[in-house]
A and B are shown apart, each in its own frame.
Chain A
Amino acid sequence: MLELQGIAVSPGVAIGQALVFDREGYQISRSRAATVDANQEWLRLKAAIDSAATKLEASAQKTADKLGARLGGIFAAQLQMLLDRRLHEELEQLIQKQSYSAEFAVSEVLNGYAAAFRRASSSFLAERAADIRDIERLLLEGLTGVPTQTLREITNPAIIASHDLTPGETAVLDPRKILGLCTETGGPGGHTAIVARGLEIPAVVGIGPFLHLLRADDSIIVDGHLGRVIINPDDYTRERYLARREHRQSIARELTELRDLPACTSDGIRVELMANIEFPTEGQSCLDRGADGVGLYRTEFLYLGSEADPSEEDHFQAYVQVVRDMGGKPVVMRTLDLGADKMGMTPYAHQENNPFLGLRSIRLSLRNPALFRTQIRAMLRAASEGDIRIMFPMITTLDELRTARFLLRSVAEDLREEGHVVRNDIPIGMMVEVPAAVVMLDRFIEEVDFVSIGTNDLTQYALAVDRGNEAVADLYQACDPAVLRLIQKTWEIATQHQVSTSVCGEMSNHPALALLLVGMGIRVLSVAPSAIPVLKKAIRSVTIGQCQAMAWRAMRLDTAKEVDAFLQNQLAGLVPEMVLQA
């Protein structure tokens, strides 16, 4: 048994056989000389190009349907590259003049491009190298007639272990066949993480080199809650995880009955359970889980997968779909929360030694008013279709909040001048995720309609811990007393001013922590859609007095470890059927 630690990016536990994708994807026979005449070899390759083009068109359509037009655009880009006439000339040259086999020509020419892209200093080009690999794979598949071991072809459900996934690979992920994902590289904001969360596939990324340790069909466990990957688990571990999974499933069956019941404590205190979502297609799954609304609509997917900035119409379509699906329930939209490095903004990205303290999130939006305005325009337009609320992420200074609000007002005026009807009662809020915002909250609170505490970043900034850094990851604890005090102070100040406070970090996905937050006074929690039924069950099993007593005692403890042990113990007492043996 071997236990590895990575970054948990998509919750859930998967147990199954490993399917390993090595760094190069797969091996091909690199025989140089073609056996038949060159002309026929070239015709064979042309047929493969045509069939690859057809497949790409189909993938573009399928992805657009599943995840929206922006990600579908990845394949449009690949198609343009595949149909490049220069590429065809180079391939033909090698085959006709140098008697290369079609396979060898493809591998030579495309590897050359991929290498040139990787060498380039700009990060968007480096990412295009993955597209080139996709194209190479498609062409070789067409030539050999043997499907390479791609994710498209998986027949038996398995866990994918890979160095990294290309956009093409993530786009064909089928949650019925892919039990879980684990990759050597990647981070919480990466492509793999975002798609895995959207499809609810448990995933751990950023594990570091481990593929050489795996053999085909090794048994493997991916724990997307704790960021753990266990290779060839011993019987005890395997049994423990199987029991946990069984337990979860039986709870899940029981929980579907709770869908239409409100999240009320047994003595009638109502807690709103909202959903955090990534993609426009997730609205329905929120409703299926009985969400009270969308508490955090991340809009980052619009900026990934294509270098061109999304148009106002791209934004608008993505927003309006969710608003309509939610049928009048609130949808809290967060403006862009990416770092410059994630957006291929080369002029900035190069200078970032410390991206989490750098030009990201609202800072990036305010530095690029054109980008920001486009997004705000779409949000304001979509607001006429339902209950949209807008919040700004990572607000640190009052100047930022005021500038953002000023831009929002001016965009609203522009829209009105153009003849659009723009509501003037859209609630505007800020995320509290920088300790400076908590310290100054009595000033901020006068200028916002609601606050939402982003516990992931608040924990990272309050404890000075990069949660992606393995060396210090154990210090990253949302239940650290320092973080709890920041949350409590935020709630106190907001409540004095009759401003609603929600908590939208990963912290509230855990039943014990959610009950603690309720005990501290929080009445709105925004969590992964999949966590809603469990939390509803937990909340309905307790009284508000029990939650308050739990909070009172937890706030008097000294360390994260003590808080964690105390909460687990409390949960076992209050909602015994909820406790999962870790």
Chain B
Amino acid sequence: MFASALRGLRSAASLQGLVLLSAGALVVWLVSVPLLFLLATAFRDTTDALPFEPGVAWTLGNFAQVFLNPVLYRQVVPDTLVYTAGAVVLTMTLGILFAWLVERSDVPLRDFLFIAIVSPVIVPTVVVAIAWVYLLGPSTGWVNLLLRSAFGLPGPGPLDVFSVYGTIIVQGLALVPLSFLFMSAAFRSMDPALEDASALCRARPLTTFLRVTLPVLLPTTLALLIVVSTLTLEGFEIPMVIGVPARMQILSTWIFFAINPPIGLPNYGQIAAIAVPFVILGAALLVLYNRATRVAERYAVVTGRAYRPRRAALGRWRYPAFAAVLVYLLLMLVLPAAVMLAAALVPVGEASRASATLQPFLNVLTSSTTLLAFRNTLLAGGLSATIVVFIACCVAWIVVRTRLPARYLLDFMTFAPLTIPAVITGTAIGLLYLVMPIGVYGTVWILVLAYATRMAVATRIMRASLIQVHRELEEASHVSGARWHTTFRRILLPLLAPAAILSWLLLFIVSFREFTLGMLLYRPDNVVLGVHIWRLYERGYIQEASALGFVMIVIVLVVGFLARRYLVPRLGEA
């Protein structure tokens, strides 16, 4: 495979070949090497040893120890299934409902609602999770205090976020923006003439929805189901903050505690053995996803074109529907921000306004750890986003423009990280650089390497963008006398810049919110904001944690607002 790739590249101009080859090598190094290393580790006897220390033998024992462990079947698997199924059902239902409301009904203020539903996505999930604890914690949660004083109830309760339901509801709500975006794009690009045609055949609206709309959207819905299931399964913040106190053992937290055991050294071979079925499952889901999206593409009716939709009249449900979306916004953005601010200013449980103080903001914002966390967050986010955008451009070009046989493998490798839970990616990368003595372990550089595995979405964006750039635009430049690098600089780069900037920003926001990889690879030197806030919260610095949480919400909202205001219009133009 690589020999033929090399031969293909050698025939191309040398600089072009060099650039593309280095991008391919980066993908292999970032994605494949850690995973293969992890898979190999699963077969090493690592009791009290690292996997490739001298004297360590090959074994199948890890699998026996992990998969014959009754805890797995009595607790981890049932808990994970209940949690995943519950959250997926909730997020899909709300996502499809909201998408239909905004794209296909006459609900008022649709543009505002669109932003309202999407904007919570930029708030770090760990902050939202902590905010929900402040709101619905059984003993001192604000809502519980309110209910108790209003109805004269005894504490704790009556509501308890630390429960199966609490975990499912918070996780389900956290993914609504994503499923909403997915489905609203599908609704928007579906030709309403299909529904009109059905109506002209005298089908009633409900019949049309069931027999035409749903089947046409089915492949997209399936693709969404796969993505949401993967993201729920790999979700770590909410299982950690809410699920663990609720005595739930979900796979992601189970793996985390296996890596960070209360006593002794972690047994990496056993952890790797847990990861094996995930990697296999991930590959299977990836194949399924590709098939679902390919079917969606074959249903040529869902095209990239935007149609003017016909909207259903909601009648007296117009305002209740509007209010339902507002409740969502309240729960996922307004209340978390408010409770964070309040908890920063006033110690939890003390309702007196007299003790309110700005001191926690000063404390947390001037601490050297916070400054280090800021620096690490920006550095790891910015650098990894730059690397990924470079990879995405090159891989997209190889996949779209060349006939190299290796291009499918490359495409698969860039997409694979999407289906592998972050807990496992983090484990693999941590383990690899723990063993490989190149000095990145425990530094911010290992975060760069870990964040840079998130190349799936950016590659897809760049690919879609490159497909829009007609091949003849490049060829016209060659015929005009320009070599590959001139063509790249003067034609391709300017045309791809909007998509590249968009990808970079998305990656940066994802890194800013990042918690899982930061936790798995945490050492005092590479603390990032998400991890810092968690450590403050965990050690009882509630006011400082809240102050930092509030600051993070403000930062992402301001950045999101500016990007929307100044960048999105310019993207639309190009």
A and B bind: no
B residues near A, CB below 8 A?
none
A residues near B, CB below 8 A?
none
